[in-house]
A and B are shown apart, each in its own frame.
Chain A
Amino acid sequence: MDALLLSRIQFGFVISFHILFPAFTIGLASWLMFLEWRWLRTRDGVWWDLYKFWSKVFAISFGMGVVSGIVMSFQFGTNWSVLSERAGNVLGPLLSYEVLTAFFLEAGFLGVMLFGAQKVRPVVHLFCTCMVALGTLISTFWIIAAISWMHTPQGHVLQGGVFSPGDWWAIIFNPSFPYRLAHMVLAAFITTCFVIGGTAAWHLRGGVQRGMALKMLKLSIAFGAIAVPAQVLMGDQHGLNTLEHQPIKVAAMEAHWHAGPPGAGVPLVLFAVPRQAEARNDFEVAIPRLGSLILTHSLDGEILALTSVAPADRPPVLPVFVAFRVMVGIGMLMLLVVAASCWAWWRGRLAQSAWVLRGWQLLSAAGFVALLAGWWVTEMGRQPWVIYGLLRTADAVSPNLQASTVAASLAGYAVVYAIIFGAGIWYLWRLLKKGPQAGETPPSHGSGAKTPARPMSAAGEADIAEGAHP
């Protein structure tokens, strides 16, 4: 294996781990904002109990997102120095704005949000929660702008292989940006929604704080009933946009190797084993014309076939094809569970309907799988390009990087991530299993203002109160 392949594996590995946490905290921050707002409006302690519970989950997830994110901000320089040197003029400013407008905002208000409930007035505390939530969304805006520009570059001036900014407005609002941003934010919200709904179903079945669990489940169903269908529509729009700007990626998603006779349309391939070297599929099961209908919204619409470009310009078809089906499949399951839940709720049998609860529980973590699959579709589908049509991934890797060095770092990341994320997910699972506690102390500035805050870990109080402290 050479430094290029190892660098690609390493990048895919560290970013796949990283993205799970920001995606989860984007949704979770808005959920916390909603809970605290409800508490402030109603002064019903249940809302605050839920806030405390989910803020502990948030603290662990955010911590893991931060430490894995720092790796990302240096990864471009260590392994992809040619990309940084050539496109740094464009990508650097976008990432700088992410730090200035989002990371500092999140970090600055996170401390007060997690540890300062008794140190500031309740409305100020809500403001801090809002700033953290806003920070996660602003962060999404900038990072998606940078990624989208690499997929559909425009607004730049290319001189001697170096990209320089020509029109910042065109760079940020590039053709795929709005679709990608909406698709990603919805995906993040839905991922969080299913973790909340799945946890609620788990608690309902296990008899943990049933009142709070039912509240969470109903909110998840209501949100899912809007967001999941919206995501299906959004995904369709994003697909049309990709077909327009990256048609070969769509061909890879569909394992569409050869153009059919005129007017025959494109079939929808349900199952196949794509063979990259022979440019064909084995064991193909396909429905004629349905592909055309979905992709082009007409029965005889054509899409570009993979063989219309040289083999060296084709993305790896098998992983793109499979990942796309995983993403869509999970989306369909989510739609099914949400529809069944609405039906059960309408019939007034929500808490008793075992299949609905089981469905939510099964799909608790499905959002993460769909999210990763979606990113793999879009990122592997753009290969062999890192800046679409302009800079190949193979030309972007750091020169003079020895394979042994990258192998060592990849092994280092693998070991460290296994320890860190293994432990983190274990602690998260333990926290979720335990469930919310009734009767948490709500913010009441004035009573404890003279005593300094008890920061420790944002999520640790309960464990320590159990007598874990030596």
Chain B
Amino acid sequence: MNAADLMLTTADGAAFWLPVAWLGVIGFGVLMYVLLDGFVLGLGILAPLSRDSGQLDHMMNTAAPIWDGNETWLVLGGAGLMAAFPRAYALVLSSLYLPVLAMLLGLIFRGVAFEFRFKGRGVARRAWGAAFSLGSIVAAFSQGVILAALVQGLPMQGGQYSGGAWGWFSPFAVMTGVALVGGYALLGAGWLILKTEGPLHEQARGWARPLMVAVLAFMGLVSAALPYLDSRVMARWFEGSNFLWLAPVPLLTLAVGWWLWRDASLGKGGQRPHDARPFLWTLALFALGFAGLLLGIWPYLVPPHLTVWGAASPPESQGFVMWGLVFLLPLILGYTAWSYRVFRGKVTVDAGYH
């Protein structure tokens, strides 16, 4: 009987359900972050493909009013993890010191570039464009590495991390980092198809298909590697008849891939392809990948060492914030949706600054 089963039989009431609810909340927060900031990071990853400075303006302008709110979901993830699972927060962040540092420094450059690029001239303008792009790539890659480090299992001895500064490093971590960079680029391309028109729109459609193929290939590679990792993540997938119950997730992924392939088409037959659908399919693709991962990790937060119950703060802490979440999360989603609505529609290239 492993630790998780033990908790399943001993914990009851609030001590059982609150950590589960919190895992749901943090999972939701991380998914929101990955989807929303993902497409903004994607813009930075795609930036080197832009044809000129004006086109990069166009790309950044589609996200300028909303990127800050998107990034806030990451802060919620951090603060929520500290509130609900302080042991996991302390263990993960101190163990993954270098990738977390790289992510933060990347996000700094990406974030200020939104303001600074439009103030610089000549070389400074190009430099902040490069900072936007490099910052996005470094942040995305580091997030992939952090995810991989958790999934592959942190080296631990006597309840303490024992891996040193580079204990998380592995080919799997690098592969996942690259995969996430590609995935965010796909989200970015979907966003551009939705929000732009003209040459940039056509280019984004051209990027979507190859990126999608790469992302599906990476998803396959990562899934194939999972059963061989120490953490035994995904063992559940192949236990007994589980695979039959979980089969809808990979099947849906393939179906979404097919729909995305179709709707990303450049529409050369004179028929105008749908502009919103490719973005929605990329969101769905990420949500499915995320769901697959959560199903594989459950009930661990730091597999195979800490379960949600083992890392949980007392019900007094978890309950206190849960009340706030119940009332505030719908409100937050409401006014966030409203601000997206205010800036709805295509962002055109020519308006504004000439």
Binding site for B on A (CB under 8 A): 59-60, 63-64, 66-71, 73-74, 76-79, 81-82, 84-85, 88-93, 95-101, 103-112, 114-116, 119-120, 164-166, 168, 398-402, 404-405, 408-409, 412-413, 416, 420, 423-424, 427, 430, 451-461, 463-465, 468-470
The reply to whether A95 and B345 form a contact with Cβ atoms under 8 Å apart is no
In the assembled complex, the Cα of A119 lies from the Cα of B91 at a distance in Å of 46
Q: Which residues of A contact B66 (CB under 8 A)?
A: 111
In the assembled complex, the Cα of A103 lies from the Cα of B354 at a distance in Å of 34
- Say yes or no: A120-B342 contact (C-beta < 8 A), given A92-B86, A92-B89, A101-B328: yes
Shortest Cβ gap from A102 to chain B (Å): 10
- Which secondary structure dominates where chain A touches chain B? helix
Residue of A nearest to B345 (CB): A452
The reply to whether B79 and A96 form a contact with Cβ atoms under 8 Å apart is yes
The reply to whether A459 and B57 form a contact with Cβ atoms under 8 Å apart is no
15 A-B pairs whose Cβ atoms sit less than 8 Å apart in the complex: A69-B75, A78-B101, A82-B90, A84-B82, A88-B86, A92-B81, A103-B72, A107-B68, A165-B317, A399-B94, A412-B105, A427-B115, A458-B64, A460-B119, A464-B353
- Say yes or no: A424-B75 contact (C-beta < 8 A), given A85-B87, A464-B118: no
Shortest Cβ gap from B167 to chain A (Å): 10
The reply to whether A71 and B98 form a contact with Cβ atoms under 8 Å apart is no
Shortest Cβ gap from A83 to chain B (Å): 8
Q: Which residues of B contact A427 (CB under 8 A)?
A: 115-116, 119
The reply to whether A111 and B339 form a contact with Cβ atoms under 8 Å apart is yes
Residue of A nearest to B74 (CB): A70
Shortest Cβ gap from B93 to chain A (Å): 3
Q: Which of B222-230, B268-276, B319-327 interfaces with chain A?
A: B319-327
Task: Indicate with 1 or 0, residue by residue over B308-331, a CB within 8 angstroms of chain A CB atoms.
Answer: 000001101100110011001100
Query: Which residue in B69, B89, B114, B313 is a CB contact (below 8 Å) of A107?
Result: B69
The reply to whether B90 and A84 form a contact with Cβ atoms under 8 Å apart is yes
Shortest Cβ gap from B333 to chain A (Å): 9
Query: Which residue in A95, A99, A398, A455 is a CB contact (below 8 Å) of B64?
Result: A455
Residue of A nearest to B313 (CB): A89
Q: Which residues of A contact B118 (CB under 8 A)?
A: 456-457, 459-460, 463-464
Shortest Cβ gap from A422 to chain B (Å): 11
Is B20 interfacial (CB-CB < 8 Å)?
no
The 4 closest A-B pairs by CB, nearest first: A88-B86, A77-B93, A460-B118, A92-B83
The reply to whether B111 and A63 form a contact with Cβ atoms under 8 Å apart is yes
The reply to whether B342 and A88 form a contact with Cβ atoms under 8 Å apart is no
The reply to whether B115 and A104 form a contact with Cβ atoms under 8 Å apart is no
The reply to whether A423 and B116 form a contact with Cβ atoms under 8 Å apart is yes
Q: Which residues of A contact B64 (CB under 8 A)?
A: 111, 115, 455-458
In the assembled complex, the Cα of A468 lies from the Cα of B105 at a distance in Å of 28
The reply to whether B353 and A454 form a contact with Cβ atoms under 8 Å apart is yes
- Say yes or no: A458-B115 contact (C-beta < 8 A), given A91-B82, A93-B83: yes
The reply to whether A108 and B339 form a contact with Cβ atoms under 8 Å apart is yes
In the assembled complex, the Cα of A183 lies from the Cα of B270 at a distance in Å of 66
Is B259 interfacial (CB-CB < 8 Å)?
no
The reply to whether B324 and A96 form a contact with Cβ atoms under 8 Å apart is yes
In the assembled complex, the Cα of A408 lies from the Cα of B99 at a distance in Å of 13
In the assembled complex, the Cα of A114 lies from the Cα of B89 at a distance in Å of 34
Is B201 interfacial (CB-CB < 8 Å)?
no
Shortest Cβ gap from B294 to chain A (Å): 21
Query: Which residue in B57, B93, B161, B347 is a CB contact (below 8 Å) of A78?
Result: B93
Q: Which residues of B contact A64 (CB under 8 A)?
A: 112
Shortest Cβ gap from B332 to chain A (Å): 5
The reply to whether A81 and B90 form a contact with Cβ atoms under 8 Å apart is yes
Q: Which residues of A contact B348 (CB under 8 A)?
A: 451-452
Q: Which residues of B contact A115 (CB under 8 A)?
A: 64-65, 343
The reply to whether B69 and A401 form a contact with Cβ atoms under 8 Å apart is no
In the assembled complex, the Cα of A402 lies from the Cα of B354 at a distance in Å of 53
Besides A427-B116, A452-B346, A453-B347, 9 other A-B contacts (C-beta < 8 A): A59-B115, A66-B111, A69-B75, A77-B94, A107-B69, A111-B69, A115-B343, A402-B165, A424-B115
The reply to whether A107 and B72 form a contact with Cβ atoms under 8 Å apart is yes
The reply to whether B89 and A93 form a contact with Cβ atoms under 8 Å apart is no
